Copies of this chain bind each other. A is one copy, B any other.
Amino acid sequence: MATVTDTPIRIGVMGCAEIARTVSRAIDLAPNATIAAVASRSLEKAKTFATANGYKQSVKIHGSYESILEDPEVDALYIPLPTSLHVEWAVRAAESGKHILLEKPVAMNVAEFDKIVAACEKNGVQMMDGTMWAHHPRTAKLKEFLFDSDRFGQLKNIHSCFSLAVDEDFLKNDIRVKPNLDGLGALGDLGWYAIRAALFANNFELPKIVAASPGTVVNEAGVILSCGASLSWEDGRTASIYCSFLANVGMEISAVGTNGTLCVQDFVIPFEETHATFTTCLKSGFNDPWVSRPTEHSVKTEIPQEACMVREFARLVGEIKNKGAEPDGFWPNISRKTQLVVDAIKESVEKNCQQISLSGR
């Protein structure tokens, strides 16, 4: 929480993507952050965006990305640019001393992301990716359950999926189906969340093996529109993930441990902004599987999950700016692991579902 002596972290919005609308509102709602500036490739576009989103008159309008990098009244940048531009602009942002809230997927591949991380480390700036659900108070409750050795026991399997059916126009024109823009397609845009959920349930341990499932759908340019994958860890822990631009909404986590079962129907974007639910089932009998019936839990949040994300990002930036703290390595670390699994699934897809070993990566 921001204390009275702290001034809000001044965030610049670098790019006017659709998602920037949601995050602009989140910055407004976060008690310790404020929108200080917005940039687009043209002044006109930036102005239109600022007006459409009700930005205050005090928000500075930049007609180029270079310009916002040089703005001394910006502490941090929110970067929702197309993925292919992340490595260039995130590195330049870090080199300009700006902390970075970077949309996912964080890069086209982990080699690019490592350049971003190196630049952040060199310049002592915080990096965090835009995975909003990680910051919902429900997620902390899910973690409590998943790592409760009595109630849940040891994880055995998690299935997670994220699908959203897009329209014809999206399939023709959206940057997420263009190899030179968001070239990781549904895998980067939606699969990212499902992979993050699988890593989350495995305490962010990387899987040993990743294999794409048969049946990947790609467009004419080779961009993934739909795919699944299997992951495996030591001790018989496994995961399956699914993502698709071609199927109706699904955003499910279903996890079984030795003692307990967890189910979340809306893990990426909760049905309601004010609270979110999940279902647990405790130890069952083999001959009486429902001796324990599923229990629904509800977790309130005072601000939407995306505002929780901004609040946590701004808190970390504040620690660095005001108290000389070091950047928190947790967030870039889990971004990197998520990207590594994205890369491995893409590699497996390209190699006809061959198993990819992540040992040593």
Question: Taking beta carbons and an 8 Å cutoff, which residues of A are in contact with B?
Answer: 18, 153, 156-157, 159, 161, 163-167, 170, 208-209, 211, 213-215, 217, 226, 228, 230-233, 236-238, 240, 242, 244, 246-252, 254, 256-261, 263, 265-266, 269, 271, 279, 281-284, 286-287, 289-290, 293-294, 352-353, 355
Query: B290 contacts A165, CB within 8 Å?
Result: no
Q: Given A237-B215, A263-B265, A290-B266, A163 and B157 touching (CB < 8 A)?
A: yes
Q: Given A213-B240, A289-B164, A250 and B258 touching (CB < 8 A)?
A: no
Q: Given A214-B238, A237-B215, A286-B166, A156 and B246 touching (CB < 8 A)?
A: yes
Query: B211 contacts A353, CB within 8 Å?
Result: yes
Query: A240 contacts B242, CB within 8 Å?
Result: yes
Query: A248 contacts B254, CB within 8 Å?
Result: no
Query: A240 contacts B228, CB within 8 Å?
Result: yes
**Residues of chain B lying within 8 A (CB to CB) of residue A289:** 164, 249, 251, 269
Which of A166, A214, A251, A290 counts the most B-chain CB atoms under 10 A from its CB?
A214
- Closest B residue, CB atoms, query A281: B249
**Residues of chain B lying within 8 A (CB to CB) of residue A355:** 214, 352-353
- Closest B residue, CB atoms, query A282: B248
Q: Given A230-B215, A269-B290, A248 and B242 touching (CB < 8 A)?
A: no
Q: How far is the CB of A138 from chain B (nearest CB, A)?
A: 15
Bound-state Cα–Cα, A326 to B87, Å: 69
**Residues of chain B lying within 8 A (CB to CB) of residue A163:** 156-157, 256
Taking a contact as CB atoms closer than 8 A, the residue among B156, B237, B248, B282 that contacts A283 in the complex is B248
Query: A156 contacts B244, CB within 8 Å?
Result: yes
Bound-state Cα–Cα, A157 to B247, Å: 8
Taking a contact as CB atoms closer than 8 A, the residue among B230, B247, B271, B352 that contacts A156 in the complex is B247
Query: B257 contacts A247, CB within 8 Å?
Result: yes
Taking a contact as CB atoms closer than 8 A, the residue among B170, B250, B260 that contacts A286 in the complex is B170
Bound-state Cα–Cα, A66 to B46, Å: 86
